[in-house]
Amino acid sequence: MSNSSLNATKHGCCAVDAHLLPGESEKDLKNIERIWNEAYQPKNDYQKKLVAELVTADWLLQRATRNYLQIESRLNEKSANPLDWTEPEQRTLGRFLRYKTAHANTVARCRKALDDDRKAKLSEKSAAEKSALTQERIKVAQKKGSPIVDWQQHLRNMRAEAVARGFVSADEPNPFDKK
């Protein structure tokens, strides 16, 4: 393998996947994967893909954080005052901070996508349950021979009952009547 083919893995902050660099532990990567899989428990291919992207993003974020801290530590050893650092040193530190920020943003985007998917699934499930309950109520009403009442008729029935019990005067205008 030529040296130029390793340019993208010199520090790994520009990597697009979670390949291990020298000094990195496969056990640590598997641990991150386990943590995120336990946290989100993906149930379909889409969620599994998002969790895999989240694992990669988190791995790269940790790598970028380590690199940033190493560079900052070296610069602090040279001079504790950041104002004494040369412009190229400050640019290098800034570049690694951008890598770290970009990976943190990717982690946040993956988590948001997973959370949004989870909410959408819950919303779909809730709507399906409400629909099934409504259908069940209609079936029960039909078996009893009760008329199926829409919400406007239901409001009129409630008003009539309130008038009959004396809670409301029959002369008062009905706020539910169409104008």
User: DSSP characters for the chain?
Assistant: --GGGGGGGSSSTT-SS-PPPTT--HHHHHHHHHHHHHHH---SHHHHHHHHHHHHHHHHHHHHHHHHHHHHHHHHHH-SSGGGS-HHHHHHHHHHHHHHHHHHHHHHHHHHHHHHHHHHHHHHHHHHHHHHHHHHHHHHHHHHTPPP--HHHHHHHHHHHHHHTTSS-TTSPPTTS--
User: Could you tell me the pTM of the whole model?
Assistant: 0.64
pLDDT computed for residue 5 by the predictor: 47
**pLDDT of 18 strictly over 60:** no
Q: What is the pLDDT of residues 28-51, one digit of tens each?
A: 999 999 999 999 999 999 999 999
Q: What is the structure's pLDDT at 172?
A: 81
Band of residue 59 on the pLDDT scale cut at 50, 70, 90: very high
